[in-house]
Every structure is written in C-alpha cells, then in structure tokens.
Amino acid sequence: MEKILRGPKGFKVPNVSYGEFIYERLRNAPERVVQIDAKSGETLTNHDLLKQSVILSKELMNKNIKINKTIMISSENSNNYFIAVCATIFTGACISPINPAYLEEEIRHCLNISKPQIIFVSRNTEKLIHRIVKSMTSNIELIQLDNDTELNGIDTIHNIINNSKEFLIDNDLYNFKPEKIPRPFEQEVVILYSSGTTGLPKGVMLSSRNLLALWYAKTNIVFAKHLEDAIYLILLPFFHGYGFSLMMFIITVGAQAIVMKSFQPELFCESIEKYRVTTIPLVPPIMVFLAKHPLVSKYNFDSVKDLICGAAPLPIDVRKAVQERLGKNINIRNGYGMTELTVVTSVSPNNPKNIETIGCLFPGIDCKVIDPETSKSLGKHKTGELCFRGDFTMLGYKGDPEATSQTIDNNGWLHTGDLGYYDHDGYLYVVGRLKELIKFNGFQIAPAEIENLLLTHVDVNDAAVFGQDHEAYGQIPVALVVLKPNATSTPEQLCKFINDRVSPQKYLRGGVTIVKSIPKNPSGKILRRELHKLVSKL
Ligand code: 4UV
C-alpha cells in the first residue's frame, strides 16, 4: 500500500476560463487603487486596469490574437505590466513572461519554446529583442510598454489604447465578455520557465484549473482574513512565478501592491513606512538584510504583519534574528513551491510548533515521500524525494513530452527533486535538494546551461557546474573545467567567457576551477554529489 499524505479536500474548481474569472473579480470595487509604483508614486486603480486591459485585448484580437496563440512579455516590474497580462488572458491567448535581464541566447531559447506572435518589451529590453526578432524568419510584432511615443517603428501600448476605436464607455466595459475557452482545464494560460529537476530551462504550462485552484487555496486557507486590507510590498520580479502569481492574487482579491522594479534597500525601508505595508513576500537574502542591515533600525516597521519567505531554504538563525529584531508580532511564514506545481504548495502557519516547517498541504494536493533509489513510498518522519499530485500539477513542459514524462509519472505524481519529510501532524519539511538546480538569490540557475556554454569554448574538454553555499545569496555557481591538451585559457578568462553570455544572476560568482577529470558514472552522467568533494580536496 502506498503511503500518501492527503491534503484537505480540494475545491471544486469552476469550469471557467481564467480570463472570465479575472474580469469578474476586477469589476468589483472599481475605485480601489490596486498598484502603486514605489519610486514614482504613480497609481493604477482597478478601473484603469480593467479599462485599459479590455481595450488592449480588443486591439490584440484585431491582430488575430486568440486561443492557441502566445504573447511574450520582457519587462521590469511596472504599472503597465499587468495591463498587458490581463489583456492577453482576456483574448484566450497565453502569456509568457521572461526575465528582462536575459541576453541573446537566453531570449532565443525562450522564443524557440513559446513561439510568440507578439512581444511586449520595455525601454530596456526593446533594442536587443528588436535585433533578435529582425534576424528571425517568423513575423513577431513588438509593443512597447514604457514609452508614450513610437520609436523605431515600434508601437506603444499607450498609443494603441488611446487611439483605439474600441474606446469604451463604462457601460460597455462592464458588459465585456472575455473569450470563452472550450476546455479551460486543458489550455495553457501562462508559460513560465524552469529547468525542473534536470537539463535546460523549459516552458511550464499552467492552466486555468491550476491558477484557480491556487486562488481558492490562498483565499480560503492561507490568507483567509482581511484580504482586501492587505498592503503588499512587491520586490519580487513579475517574470518569476512567485511574483507573477502574487500579483494575480493581489489584483483578484482587491488588495494593494506597492511595486518596486528591483530591491533597493533605502526605497524598500521607506516604502514600508510610507505606505504602512502589511505583507512582504520575499526570499532568504532579503531576510538576511532584515536581520543585519543598519538601515532597518531607522524606519518604522510597525504596520508589517506577515513576512512570507520562499524560493530557497531559510536558515533558522536568520529567521530567529529577524524575529528578534522586528518583534514577536510579525508572523514569519515559510512558503515552499515549484513553478511546475503552480508555484506554491504550502505556506507555514503563524507560530507553528516547529518553525522549520513549510506548512501543511494546500487543499487539492496529495504528497508522498519516496526512497530515491527504490521509489518505494516512505511513511511519516522518513526523508526522501517529495512528490505531489493534484489540481496544482502543471499541464506539462511546452513541446517537450519527454521531459514532462520524466517529471510527472504515469500515476500523476510530480517528482520535485527535493528531499524532505512529513511529520505526524501532516507538517512538511524540506531538508535538501537531489536535483541539479542551483538557486542564487531565489533565482534558478540550470547547471546544464552553463556547462553547455563552457563546452562551446575552444579550450574546454569537459565541464560541470554546481552550487556552493553562500551566506548572502543562498548558493553561487562554481564551474569545474577540464582543459584540452596545450590549452592556455585561465580560470578568469573562462569566467569572463560565461559572464559575457549570461544574465547577471547566472554569473560564475564561485569561479572556475581547473580539474583533471569530471566524476561520471559508466553511462557518462555527471556524479553531481562528488563535485563538492572534489573542490574541497583541492
Ligand atoms: O520553480 P522555482 O523557482 O519556484 C519557487 C517558488 C517559490 C514560492 C515560495 C512561496 C510562495 O508563496 C510562492 O508563491 C512561491 O521557488 O524553484 C523551485 C525550487 O526552489 C526550492 C526547491 O528546491 C524547489 O524545488 N524552494 C522553493 N521554496 C523553498 C525551496 C523553501 N521554502 N525551502 C527550501 N527550498
């Protein structure tokens, strides 16, 4: 008999499209301010968001955007971001956010996966994406999110909305009908990028069912009280599932988000005080900042009720230091998730018995812990690989059935590559990672991506990349390289070779170490657990 930890009974997820759902939620409380730009103070109300996204969606439909089409978005956090996201979803098409810091190869990789018809770009990403798109045979249109006026022949969201013949009087706006999707449970609404347990980044397809199940779990279990009074400080990037799903949550429950483009210590502290922020979703390095940085003592953080930390392990001493510094009234909650599981599967409650827990299962999710060698399911208090099944399981990886079947088995269990266990009361714990994924500052780094790049260097015979623990960033990538005979490249030159080709979060901060050979099993697979040992022996 399989030993399974069953989550609370799932909600009966309604058979509606996510677009219909968002639209209904936005129609409520039109005057509410949903988003404030932390730096400029610019605001966006529900009404602004609804009106602009409905007009834009009609214009996108006029450009033949509909179900089974994809729109990509490459932009820093901004007030216009979710106008573009909601507009796309209203058309029945799929939205695919990418990291705006991506360089050419990273962008091409994502384009090959999601094959968008349109890309929303920002002032910073326009030039590179324009050049890439011009070199391609497919016809991809760009739309600028930031500028007011057209540059380089690229139309702006501002022009499209303001010059639209679809300009709506309020009555029309409140009678708009987002596209119905015939089978919303089977249709992707968003494609996010994750390398999963192995290999290169892949396109994670999430459906209306996934996103609605998350919404119901969060509104009923996790944040059941005073949802619309919450003021969130969002410093998480919108392109990552954590930031994306939180913004969708804030928009659809009528809460408010103070949005930062990136983490800036002074602006972060000022915003908490100025806007009386109640809730801050963050990653462990920001907890280190809260525990240690002198700036924190200069501001009033009395309004803060919840800190939700996720995306990487939260060291106990850091957690305790933050609690001590900010006071007992702040709830520190540990959220665990994975993009492939609609981003989050559990969040710890206020004051759990054991502060190391990541909480109990959300409704609609089951968990089992398996022995990594035998795949046999283990019981309570036994550590093994965490596997989940239920409403949160992704549809699959876009265009990659092989990677999908390696991750979701025939019985529907998604294998996370994380090591953990559950206790007698159903609380879950993550204790390590089996998979090759590196987490820098909560961002994913796929070792295979850097290894493949290193192998394109003329002097490199073989390469392996792994994550080294780091106090401030969680982990940093380190490369081991076997040089070709008579090669002259230095570790510094190889580091530069990589850092010139990847976005900053993937820089080889742990450096390159030259080794004689990479430990591999007889079939040529890198023995990743041996890599740490190899470096410590040198
Ligand atoms: O796919 P991904 O980048 O996804 C995430 C999602 C994190 C969260 C956390 C809380 C939320 O409320 C939320 O909405 C999203 O990180 O990376 C998945 C891998 O990151 C590690 C683990 O190895 C996952 O497989 N990870 C994520 N959360 C934790 C964690 C955690 N709390 N403790 C330890 N490792």
pLDDT at 316: 95
Rg (CA), the chain: 23
Q: What percent of the chain has pLDDT over 70?
A: 99
Instruction: State mean pLDDT over 326-344.
Output: 96
Rounded to 5°, angle at Cα 534 from 531 and 538: 145
| Spatial distance between the Cα atoms of 205 and 188, rounded to a whole number of angstroms | 5
Within 10 angstroms of residue 348's Cβ, the number of other Cβ atoms is 26
CA–CA gap between residue 266 and residue 273 (Å, rounded): 11
Alpha helices in 99-254 (DSSP H): 104-114, 126-134, 157-162, 170-173, 208-217, 241-253
276: phi > 0 → left, psi -120 to 50 → alpha, else beta; which? left
pLDDT band at residue 222 using 50, 70 and 90 as cut-offs: low
Tokens of 89: 């979803």
Do 513 and 481 contact (CB within 8 A), yes or no?
A: yes
Task: State the closest ligand 1 atom to the C-alpha of 308, by its place in the atom list counted from 1.
Answer: 12
Protein residue closest via CA to atom 20 of ligand 1 = 311
Centre of ligand 1 to C-alpha 335, Å, is 7
Residue 494 exposure: Cα atoms within 13 Å on the Cβ side = 30
Q: Is the per-residue pLDDT at 438 higher than 90?
A: yes
How far, in Å, from the CA of 334 to the mean position of ligand 1?
A: 10
Pairwise CA distance, residues 498 & 507, whole Å: 7
Residue bearing tokens 């979710």: 82
> Separation of 431 CA from ligand 1 center, angstroms?
13
Helix, strand or coil for residue 207?
strand
What are the backbone angles phi and psi of residue 144, rounded to the nearest 5°?
Answer: -85, 130
Mean pLDDT of the chain: 94
Residue bearing the CA closest to ligand 1, atom 4: 338
The string of pLDDT tens digits covering residues 241-295 is 999 999 999 999 999 999 999 999 999 999 999 999 999 999 999 999 999 999 9
Residues 216-239 have a mean pLDDT of 86
Distance between Cα 23 and ligand 1 center (Å) = 29
Across the chain, which distance is largest between two alpha carbons, in Å?
75
CA 231–ligand 1 middle distance (angstroms): 23
Which residue has its alpha carbon closest to ligand 1 atom 24? 338
Give the pLDDT mean for 452-475: 96
pLDDT tops 80 at residue 225: no
- CA atoms within 13 Å, Cβ hemisphere of 313: 18
User: What confidence tens digit (pLDDT) does each residue in 477-505 have?
Assistant: 999 999 999 999 999 999 999 999 999 99
CA 107 to ligand 1 center in whole angstroms: 23
H-only helix segments in 327-436? 401-407
Given ligand 1 and candidates 194, 246, 250, 338, which is best to mutate, with the most ligand atoms within 8 Å of its CB? 338
Atom number, ligand 1, closest to the C-alpha of residue 442: 16
Ligand 1 proximal residues by C-beta, below 6 Å: 194, 241-242, 245, 308, 310-313, 334-339, 343-344, 347, 358, 416, 418, 430, 433, 439, 444
Quick check: 426 pLDDT over 90? yes
Ligand 1 centroid distance, CA of 282 (Å): 11
Q: Is residue 274 exposed (0-12), middle (13-18) or buried (19+ Cβ within 10 Å)?
A: middle
Q: Which atom of ligand 1 is nearest to the CA of 281?
A: 12
Residue bearing the CA closest to ligand 1, atom 7: 311
| Rounded distance from Cα 308 to ligand 1 centre (Å) | 12
Task: Please tell me the predicted confidence (pLDDT) of residue 538.
Answer: 67
Separation between Cα atoms, residue 91 and residue 274, nearest integer Å: 37
- Concatenated DSSP letters for 411-455? TSPEEEEEEEEE-TTS-EEEEEE-S--EEETTEEE-HHHHHHHHH
CA 336 to ligand 1 centroid distance, Å? 5
From 343, 356, 433, the mutation candidate for ligand 1 (largest count of ligand atoms within 8 A of CB) is: 343
Note the pLDDT tens digit of each residue in 13-47: 888 999 999 999 998 878 899 999 999 999 999 99
Buried/exposed 63-89: b ≥16 CB within 10 Å, e otherwise: eebeeebbbbbbbbbbbbbbbbbbbbb
Q: Which ligand 1 atom is the nearest neighbour of the CA of 433? A: 23
How many other C-beta atoms lie within 10 A of the C-beta of residue 180? 12
Res. 399: pLDDT tops 90: yes
Task: For residue 388, list its beta bridge partners.
Answer: 367, 414
| Separation of alpha carbons 441 and 236, rounded Å | 11
Can you give the length of the chain in residues? Answer: 538
Cβ(378)–Cβ(370) below 8 Å = yes
Backbone angles phi, psi at 482, to 5 degrees: -105, 120
34, 46 in Cβ contact below 8 A?
yes
Distance from Cα 337 to the centre of ligand 1, integer Å: 4
Place of tokens 């279990």: 221
CA of 430 relative to ligand 1 center, distance in Å = 10
Q: Which pLDDT score is estimated for 223?
A: 65
Q: Whose CA is nearest to atom 18 of ligand 1?
A: 338
pLDDT digits (tens, 9 = 90+) for 170-195: 788 888 999 999 998 899 999 999 99
Place of tokens 């909600």: 11
Residue 323 neighbours by CB distance under 10 Å: 18
Task: Look at residue 11 in the predicted model and tell me its pLDDT.
Answer: 82
Q: Residue 13: what pLDDT?
A: 87
Q: Which atom of ligand 1 is nearest to the CA of 204?
A: 1
Query: Which residue's entry shows tokens 């596209």?
Result: 179
73-77, 146-150, 466-470: lowest mean pLDDT where? 146-150
DSSP 21-33: HHHHHHHSSTTSE
Q: Which of 206, 227, 176, 171 is nearest to 24 (CA)?
A: 176
CA proximity to 218, closest of 333, 140, 109 = 333
What's the CA gap between 134 and 244, in Å, rounded? 29
Compute CA 428 distance to the chain's CA centroid, rounded to the nearest angstrom.
21
Q: Ligand 1 mean position to 309 CA, how many Å? A: 9
CB atoms within 10 A of CB 293: 15
Ligand 1 pocket test target in 219, 336, 475 with most atoms within 8 Å of CB: 336
